[in-house]
Chain A
Amino acid sequence: MSPTIHVQQLSKTYKVPEREGGFSAAVRGFFKRKYKEVKAVQRVDFKIEQGEIVGFLGPNGAGKTTTLKMLSGLLHPSNGNASVLGFTPWELKPDYLRSMTLVMGQRNRLSWDIPAADSFLLHQAIYRIPDNEYKQTYKELDELLELEPLMKKPVRNLSLGERMKCEIAAGLLHRPKVLFLDEPTIGLDITGQARIREFLREYNKRTGATILLTSHYMADVTALCERIIIIHHGQLKYDGGISDLSKKIAPFKLIGVMLAESNSHDLSKYGELVQNEEDWEKQYIQVKAEDVTRVTSRLLADLPIHDITIADPPIEDVIEQAFNS
């Protein structure tokens, strides 16, 4: 049997307008636009079999969304080929559109002012879902996501997590066989993320749907995907089991140090200094996993430590590091 998703040498190059900052540059740019070519995706190959859940990872701007958009049919590739369920996505055949879904965590499909139930009914009309099938699917989704209490409120009155549940449900009403999920858990709190994750796993088990998802949260990926695909600068860097990757990248840990006095001590002799924009109070150093105990005890012995943390580096940094080195 041919794979559900088959991507061959897929490439996408954008032309992006570019100009210097400043007033005169803006005026000049009005008359003469300069364009820069951006190679968003370059010669990517992979195959995904029916029923797989694959995590699609890479730092911001790596080409994940572009790839998902090509696979869902929104973008024409500059080069290469892709087939999903035997269709060429960008031909936008109605039969294809009825058998897949694209859910983007940062975009809204539901109408803001009316309850989700009303938008669902419009969806039913657009996808021509017979009444009994619609009721059945809705019942199943409600069972998994507990939609019923959310259905009567206008979407604008829902919390982000509640809205995301409805958005995902809306994307699944037509029982798609392939799910492209772009950051489905973005902005959600830990519980919210866990619920969506649990739902996706259960949905995959029940329906045998193929799922390709991108996420910034490593937990999403480790909980759901046995296989991950990593792209960086538009190129495929890794395609394989998640456990193999962690072997490759596990050697690193991040130690965060908050000193009791000033930050005048030089930490670079203990390990490589890294930036962490979310936490200015601490300085972070990166060390190999096997050195963590040694370095930590040295730090504690040498310096007036107020607080110290040891953590896995964020997924984006890990990927960046694993492939830049």
Chain B
Amino acid sequence: MQTLKLLSAFFKMNVQMSLAYRADTVVNILLNLMWLGWELLSLNIIFSNTETLGGWGLGELIALLGVFRLVNTLMIALIWPNTEKFNQSIRDGSMDYTILQPVNSMFLVTFSRITVWRFWDLILAVVLIVVGVNMSTATTTPLQILTFILLAITGMIIIYSLWIVLIALTFWFVKFDNNVTILQALLDAGRYPATVYPVWLRIIVTFIIPIAVATTIPLQALRGELEMTQILTFILVSIVSFFLASRIWRAGLKQYSGASS
């Protein structure tokens, strides 16, 4: 409840900040409308020319794209702006005020900035997922859809955890502005189904780089390709990674408080 209240306070504040500069606001709205048009156009091109890719049907591909876009929105609307603010706050010392607030600092650092213009990206992603899942309902059971949703959430948690680890490294290095660039590079590898990659690359993409976990794995669940043990493993992995990430975050905070002056 408290968390929701805070999130809505953050959201309101970000809307206020976005509206602070009038010309900037107008440009942003126009830019995002153009962006959206471009995205829809490219989707159209892809699907008017392709029926299957790596043995996946159209509906599944649309759903995959939706999940990918969901992750991408997470990147653009949350991860990029918060990382930028975080990197800056480490160097200018405003991190001090963040630490002294009676709210989990990890939560504060990761949710206080929201790129509100990306809201419709979120809607687009959800629409794609719903449409995709609907198109493939002929072959899917409600249980598969449920695990799909569950694993999409687990995937997000894993990405979130990876992000936390990457930004927590800044506590040690002080200047580590490439932290999100690394994440983005990893994420881009997850754009296509992991099955289109050669086996060795697939192993890296699925296990070494957990981004594919967020995009391909849920889709495999949707196709009913996953065993119960695999599903449970992924859930366990997300719990463990979140736990580890918060430990690393705490260690980072301790490092910060040991080193800054």
- Chain A residues with a Cβ under 8 A of chain B: 14-16, 40, 65-66, 69, 72-76, 90, 92, 94-95, 97-98, 102, 104, 107-109, 111, 113-114, 118-119, 121-122, 125-128, 154
- Contact status B94-A107, CB under 8 Å: yes
Task: Contacts A92-B99, A126-B101 given; indicate if A74 touches B257 (C-beta within 8 A).
Answer: yes
CA distance A73 to B256 in the complex (A): 12
Name the contact of A74 in the complex, choosing from B6, B20, B21, B99 (C-beta under 8 A): B99
Chain A residue nearest to B2 (CB atoms) is A128
Task: Contacts A92-B99, A97-B100, A98-B102 given; indicate if A114 touches B17 (C-beta within 8 A).
Answer: yes
Chain B interface residue bracket vs A: 20 to 34
CA distance A92 to B254 in the complex (A): 11
What's the nearest-Cβ distance from chain A to residue B125, in Å?
28
Chain B residues with Cβ under 8 A from A69's Cβ? 96, 260
Lowest 9 CB-CB distances: which A-B pairs, in order? Answer: A125-B9, A94-B102, A97-B102, A113-B20, A98-B102, A114-B16, A109-B97, A75-B257, A113-B17
Chain B residues with Cβ under 8 A from A66's Cβ? 261
Which of B21, B101, B254, B260 has the most C-beta atoms of chain A within 10 angstroms of its own C-beta?
B101
Chain B residues with Cβ under 8 A from A128's Cβ? 2, 102
- Contact status B261-A14, CB under 8 Å: yes
What's the nearest-Cβ distance from chain B to residue A60, in Å?
12
Chain A residues with Cβ under 8 A from B2's Cβ? 128
List CB contacts (< 8 Å) of B92-114 with chain A.
Answer: 92-94, 96-97, 99-103, 108
Interface flag for B40 (CB, 8 Å): no
- Contact status A102-B100, CB under 8 Å: yes
Task: Contacts A102-B96, A108-B94 given; indicate if A114 touches B257 (C-beta within 8 A).
Answer: no
CA distance A75 to B257 in the complex (A): 4
What's the nearest-Cβ distance from chain B to residue A279, in Å?
31
Mask: chain B, 81-97; 1 = CB below 8 Å from A; 0 = not = 00000000000111011
15 examples of A-B residue contacts, CB within 8 angstroms: A69-B96, A73-B99, A74-B96, A76-B254, A76-B257, A90-B257, A92-B100, A94-B103, A102-B100, A107-B94, A113-B20, A114-B17, A118-B13, A122-B10, A128-B2
**Chain B residues touching A, majority SS:** helix
- Contact status B96-A40, CB under 8 Å: no
Chain A residues with Cβ under 8 A from B93's Cβ? 104, 107
Interface flag for B258 (CB, 8 Å): yes
CA distance A118 to B259 in the complex (A): 33
What's the nearest-Cβ distance from chain B to residue A164, in Å?
15
Chain A residues with Cβ under 8 A from B254's Cβ? 76
CA distance A3 to B133 in the complex (A): 65
CA distance A15 to B259 in the complex (A): 7
Chain A residue nearest to B258 (CB atoms) is A76
- Contact status A109-B94, CB under 8 Å: yes
List CB contacts (< 8 Å) of B232-261 with chain A.
Answer: 254, 257-261
What's the nearest-Cβ distance from chain B to residue A88, in Å?
13
Name the contact of A125 in the complex, choosing from B6, B97, B260 (C-beta under 8 A): B6
What's the nearest-Cβ distance from chain A to residue B7, in Å?
9
- Contact status A40-B261, CB under 8 Å: yes
- Contact status B100-A126, CB under 8 Å: no
CA distance A95 to B13 in the complex (A): 25
Mask: chain B, 1-39; 1 = CB below 8 Å from A; 0 = not = 010011001101100110011000000000000000000
